[in-house]
Amino acid sequence: MGLDVTGNLVLFDQNNSSVWQSFDHPTDTLVLGQSLCRGKNLSAKPSNTKWPAARIYFSAELDGLQYSFKPAAYTQVFQATTPSTYRTTTCYAFVNGSLGFPDKIFSLPLAKSVQLMRLESDGHLRLYEMGIPHLELLMVLDVLSIAMKFCDYPLACGDYGVCNNGQCSCPSLSHFRFQDERHPDAGCTPLTSISCNHVHTHQLIPLYNVSYFSYDRFLSLATQGTPQRVCMHSCLVDCSCKAVLFQKSSYRDDYGNCLLLSEENLILLTEDLTGPVLAFFKIQDDHSEKRTIITAISSTVKCKKDVEPLFDGIPGTPKCFSFYELKVATRNFSMKLGVGGFGSVFKGTIGKETIAVKRLEGVDQGMEEFLAEVKTIGRIHQLNLVRLVGFCAEKSHRLLVYEYLCNGSLDKWIFHTSPVFTLSWKTRQKADIYSFGIVMVEIICGRENLDESQPEESIHLISLLQEKARFGQLSDLVDSASNDMKFHMDEVIEAMKLAMWCLQVDSSRRPLMSTVAKVLEGVMSMEAAPDCTFVPSFVSSNAHIVGLTSSYVPSESHLSGPW
């Protein structure tokens, strides 16, 4: 077995003949000198755990390189053909300056150092180069950008996403929400999950000006000459169908081309203001009893009427629930989770979603003031804050609806009944100082403390900080993407030294939070430069072993929060 200079791992037999080589089995990456041959492909690793197998492929064909999407069978998205009319080989090499050697299908920047090409989970084929002197991978080129725009990528806006001019949206805010509002390209999800056990409650809602991401592919995949009613009925009775696209024929409006989309195919939608295609999305109607429907509708109408002046036209604001809806959801407020300073919290269920309903008590607040606060809270989306999903402001009732956290209240973990799990106040205070130092360093450096995408020697940021501090090279760690930090480098270095003070291994040498605040305000200065020891010696000496630090449990004197 041998590893050559290009990175190709080769196995030899007893006659020293090659019997297997890694270059013949590409995954998601090509390195300089490697070829992609017919029958082989690059496959992007799925970003969503819902899809265990790859769905984006980049393959070698007889007449060129093909970019494909694979829900059930290959669906060609894009093909770059060779300029030659005759080929004597079926392999396309990644060489310095081009992809497709001997025929230059894609021109690439000449390599200044080590280069690699990776088909990534969002479907983009990116060229990377090893940066000097920090030995970090830098993106050089989005290879397919010369042929594909943002909305041409099937995964551009994720499941249920609709792409328009490089922007992602959901089919309908009334029935769908973003999976992650901070990242619209992560896709959307129905507000109510579709159940195959209640097919009779499925409905199709229209969505105008939406088409399949590729009109040519739509025509080739659609069933032609289908009555519209038959097309829609076929989707309603098939639980795997989540949406349907229908193109009216030129001679009859009720006949045309029908395409049923499963959940795997729901990433392939783009906005089309001129196209003749109609789109319908399947939703679940959970109201099975007529009385519930009438009551809910009348309550919702009243709720909307009461709050509409403040919330009208504001996307993403919390949903208004009627008191009756929350009473039913919580089984008449029978499942109490706990009691706070302003009222009790109850567990409830709406559809298949579990919620926590806080019923405010003793709050003397007018309607307009209450709704203004709800609007403000509802716009806050932060990873460590419980999300407000709705409210009720009916008559004297004031209720807030939050997402339900299955691990319970934070106080059960801070003030655990077992002394083994309980943190003393001294421990919590010192850990908070250390954590503040970590946050400061991450902000200044523009990266996380543990980042396995970094080169091996740079994975652990605090170990790297310790090394740079000892050699007086702190400026090397400052986020290069921040011009503001570059223009105020002296102040940034001082802030980094303050963070280093908070990161001392010996907890007795860390400052109080009040001292930190005074230093930041400029009314106090650090008495001396902090010691350059932030990592226990047994950890820093083994920092090159990936994953070793994750098992380190600090004592009170170390309190190293990130581990």
Task: Point out the annotated binding site for ATP.
Answer: 358
Tokens 């299908």 sit at which residue?
105
DSSP 236-291: HH-TTEEEEEEEE-SS-TTEEEEEEEEGGGTT-EEE-SS--EEEEEEEE----SHH
Name the residue among 191, 194, 164, 158 with its Cα closest to residue 176: 191
Q: CA angle, 117 as apex, 116 and 123 as ends, to 5°?
A: 155
Query: Can you tell me the distance from the alpha carbon of 1 to that of 386, in angstroms, rounded to the nearest whole number?
Result: 54
Q: Which residues pair with 245 in a beta bridge?
A: 259, 279
As annotated, the binding site includes: 358
Q: How many residues does the chain have?
A: 563
Residue 68: both structure tokens together: 């494909």
Burial class (CB in 10 A: 0-12, 13-18, 19+), 407: exposed
Name the residue among 157, 129, 125, 163 with its Cα closest to residue 144: 125
Cβ contact 490:478 at 8 Å: no
Name the residue among 442, 481, 476 with its Cα closest to residue 462: 442
Q: Which residues contact 128 (CB under 8 A, 6 or more apart)?
A: 115, 116, 117, 118, 137, 138, 139, 140
Residue 551: both structure tokens together: 């098992």
DSSP 377-433: HHT---TTSPPEEEEE-STT--EEEEE--TT--THHHHT-SSTTTPPPHHHHHHHHH
Q: Which residues contact 540 (CB under 8 A, 6 or more apart)?
A: 463, 466
Tokens 């309908």 sit at which residue?
172
**Largest Cα span, the chain:** 89
**Residue 227 CB-half CA count within 13 A:** 3
Q: Which strands sit side by side in the sheet containing 202-207, from one edge to the other?
A: 202-207, 277-284, 241-248, 255-262, 223-227
Cβ contact 83:103 at 8 Å: yes
Sign of CA dihedral 66, 69, 74, 77: negative
Instruction: For residue 107, give Cα distances in angstroms to 66, 79, 94, 556.
Output: 16, 15, 10, 57
Print the SS3 string covering 307-373. Answer: HHHHHCCCCCCCEECCHHHHHHHCCCCCCEEEEECCEEEEEEEECCEEEEEEEECCCCCCHHHHHHH
Q: Are strands 388-392 and 319-320 parallel, antiparallel or unpaired?
A: parallel
Tokens 């696209």 sit at which residue?
245
Query: Where does 13-101 show beta strands of DSSP type E?
Result: 18-21, 29-31, 35-37, 41-43, 56-61, 64-69, 75-81, 91-95, 98-101
